[in-house]
């Protein structure tokens, strides 16, 4: 069967028709005859059949996601973790080795280190910026390499063109978690990645009300991933798929506004550093950023996450975090509301202080996911929190 089972063209608006696509919640659809049922059931024909095997709203979102990445196709899952675990489990087998950075999202690290070994898959960790460590791992043989950039929460960058070429030379598949910088900010497939995965819960949903994930790549890799999803059932439901298509209309506008505000906020935070109020302002769009040149090559802009380090270590960071009045203290990113994260307490709580320091995460670090409130409002909120916690 040549016709892919994921993705479907979005119906064009007609001059008088509804301006948004219908939401189809049916779990099953009646068919004209036994032969049609046989072909649909065997996955030899696409169409409405049974919701777990794919549905119109999900396929619409998949088409949008694939087009945005410049991919042959995309397969949507019920969460980012379902997409990441589904893509890996579909492609690895007993005896394979998977390489994964120490700094990768904690949920991904937990799945890879706790679940994959139960299926006879070897796992090796490397530091995101340690090219020699990755090369050594590749030399021992690897089926799949996970990459994530910008690196959380230090916002250092992995050179995707160089790293994916290195992995390809060793015959390893690269899976890039692009959640932190969706297209048009960063296009991992155009930089040589085999697969890109997103927690669509973040920018793609954009309003803190949808949990979803999506993986995109070439048909050769998407077919087994779609088939695995059919068998294991982690499909995205129609309602969140519909919401994702709705969010799509404002995605570029949101990203542009969030990115412009991030740069303005980062410049303001850098000014606070120069005045001695902050220990560091970290943003790939700042001239002071160590990967600034790479950011200019591989990203369009510096993204929408800004980190900063307060004076006074852990205790002060916690007090500044608690004193924020506009930025919400919430675990996530990419939403219209600005969100603050305290890595030592949340995403990187499982690391010892020494491990955090080795990963370049100082005790006083806070990360802001910049929303749509405007840079002046956010800067005033942070400056006020700093003043009130001196
Ligand atoms: N990848 C990254 C970089 C994330 O930040 C997250 C969630 O925070 C995930 C994957 C997992 O996505 P989800 O929460 O949608 O399962």
Instruction: Tell whether the model's pLDDT for residue 3 goes beyond 70.
Output: no
Q: Are 193 and 174 in contact (CB under 8 A)?
A: yes
Is pLDDT at 1 greater than 60 in this prediction?
Answer: no
Q: Does 13 score more than 80 pLDDT?
A: no
Indicate which residue's Cα is closest to atom 15 of ligand 1.
80
Q: Which one, of 301, 346, 74, 20, lies nearest residue 200 by Cα?
A: 74
Cα(184) to centroid(ligand 1), Å: 19
Picking from 81-90, 171-180, 344-353, 366-375, which range would have the lowest pLDDT averaged per residue?
344-353
215-254 confidence digits (pLDDT tens): 999 999 999 999 999 999 999 999 999 999 999 999 999 9
Ligand 1, closest atom to CA 179? 3
* pLDDT, mean over the chain: 94
pLDDT at 15 over 90: no
pLDDT, tens only, 266-302 = 999 999 999 999 999 999 999 999 999 999 999 999 9
Q: What is the CA radius of gyration of the chain?
A: 22
Between 26-40, 251-265, 318-332, 355-369, the lowest mean confidence (pLDDT) is in 355-369
Local structure of residue 126 (DSSP, 8 states): E
User: Does ligand 1 have an atom closer than 6 angstroms to the CB of 79?
Assistant: yes
pLDDT, position 174: 98
pLDDT-based confidence at residue 348 (cuts at 50, 70, 90): confident
Closest atom of ligand 1 to 211 CA is 15
Q: How confident is the model at residue 320 (pLDDT cuts 50, 70, 90)?
A: very high
Residue 311 buriedness (CB in 10 A; 0-12 / 13-18 / 19+): middle
What digits encode the pLDDT tens for the residues 40-56? 888 888 788 999 999 99
Cα(346) to centroid of ligand 1, in Å? 13
215: which DSSP letter? E
179 lines ligand 1 (CB under 6 A): yes
Q: Which numbered atom of ligand 1 lies nearest the CA of 332? A: 8
pLDDT-based confidence at residue 11 (cuts at 50, 70, 90): low
**34-248 and 251-388 have identical folds:** no
Question: Could you tell me the pTM of the whole model?
Answer: 0.96
Q: Give the span between the Cα atoms of 166 and 138, in whole angstroms.
A: 9
CATH architecture observed for domain 34-248: 3-Layer(aba) Sandwich (3.40)
Atom of ligand 1 nearest to the CA of 180: 3
Query: For ligand 1, is residue 199 a contact (CB within 6 Å)?
Result: yes
Mutating to test ligand 1, I would choose from 179, 331, 369 the residue with most ligand atoms within 8 A of its C-beta, which is 179
The pLDDT > 70 percentage for the chain reads 97
Q: Parallel, antiparallel, or unpaired: how do β-strands 213-217 and 278-282 relate?
A: unpaired
pLDDT of residue 341: 96
- Say if CB 76 and CB 65 are below 8 A apart: yes
330 lines ligand 1 (CB under 6 A): no
| Cα 186 to middle of ligand 1, angstroms | 17
Choice among 201-205, 266-270, 329-333, 353-357 with the minimum mean pLDDT = 353-357
**167-198 pLDDT per residue, tens:** 999 999 999 999 999 999 999 999 999 999 99
Q: What is the CATH number of domain 251-388?
A: 3.90.1150.10
Q: How far is CA 348 from CA 60, 73, 322, 379, in A?
A: 36, 33, 18, 25
For residue 97, the CA-to-ligand 1 centroid distance in Å is 23
CA of 331 to the centre of ligand 1 (A): 10
168: helix, coil or strand?
helix
Give the pLDDT score at 10.
Answer: 66
Q: Give me ligand 1 centre to Cα 209, in Å.
A: 14
**Is 87 within 8 Å of 197 (Cβ atoms)?**
yes
Does ligand 1 lie within 6 Å of residue 106's CB atom?
A: no
Tell me how far apart the alpha carbons of residues 232 and 52 are, in angstroms, rounded to a whole number.
9
pLDDT at res. 364: 95
Residue 275 Cα to ligand 1 midpoint, Å, equals: 36
Nearest CA to ligand 1 atom 5: 105
The domain ranges of the chain are 34-248, 251-388
pLDDT digits (tens, 9 = 90+) for 149-168: 999 999 999 999 999 999 99
Taking the C-alpha atoms of residue 293 and residue 62, their distance in angstroms, rounded to an integer, is 33
Res. 2: pLDDT tops 60? no
Pocket lining: 77 vs ligand 1, CB cutoff 6 Å:
no
């Amino acid at each position: 069967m040549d016709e892919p089972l994921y993705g479907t063209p979005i119906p064009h608006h007609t001059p008088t028709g509804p301006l948004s696509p219908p939401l189809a919640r049916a779990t099953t659809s009646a068919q004209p005859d036994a032969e049609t049922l046989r072909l649909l059931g065997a996955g030899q024909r696409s169409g409405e059949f049974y919701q777990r095997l794919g549905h119109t709203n999900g396929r619409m979102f998949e088409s949008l996601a694939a087009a945005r990445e410049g991919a042959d196709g995309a397969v949507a899952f019920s969460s980012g973790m379902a997409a990441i675990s589904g893509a890996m489990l579909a492609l690895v087998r007993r005896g394979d080795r998977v390489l994964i950075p120490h700094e990768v999202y904690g949920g991904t690290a937990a799945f890879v280190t706790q679940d994959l070994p139960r299926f006879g898959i070897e796992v090796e960790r490397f530091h995101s910026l340690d090219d020699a460590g990755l090369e050594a791992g590749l030399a021992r043989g690897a089926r799949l390499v996970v990459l994530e950039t910008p690196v959380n929460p230090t916002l250092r960058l992995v050179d995707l063109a160089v790293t994916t070429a290195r992995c390809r030379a060793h015959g390893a598949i690269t899976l890039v978690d692009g959640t932190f910088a969706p297209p048009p900010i960063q296009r991992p497939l155009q930089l040589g990645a085999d697969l890109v995965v997103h927690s669509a819960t973040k920018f793609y949903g954009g309003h803190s009300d949808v949990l979803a994930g999506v993986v995109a790549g070439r048909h050769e890799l998407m077919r087994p991933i779609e088939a695995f999803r059919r068998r294991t059932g982690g499909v995205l439901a129609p309602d969140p798929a519909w919401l994702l298509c709705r969010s799509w209309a404002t995605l570029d506008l949101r990203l542009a506004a969030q990115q412009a505000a991030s740069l303005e906020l980062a410049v303001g935070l850098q000014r606070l550093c120069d005045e001695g109020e902050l220990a560091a302002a970290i943003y790939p769009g700042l001239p002071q950023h160590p990967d600034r040149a790479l950011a200019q090559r591989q990203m369009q802009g510096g993204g929408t996450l800004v980190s900063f380090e307060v004076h006074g270590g852990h205790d002060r960071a916690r007090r500044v975090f608690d004193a924020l009045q506009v930025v919400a203290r919430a675990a996530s990113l990419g939403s219209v509301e600005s969100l603050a994260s305290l890595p030592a307490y949340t995403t990187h709580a499982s690391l010892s202080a020494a491990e955090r320091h080795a990963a370049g995460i100082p005790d006083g670090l806070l990360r802001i996911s910049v929303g749509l409130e405007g840079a002046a409002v956010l800067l005033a909120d942070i400056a006020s929190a700093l003043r009130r916690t001196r």
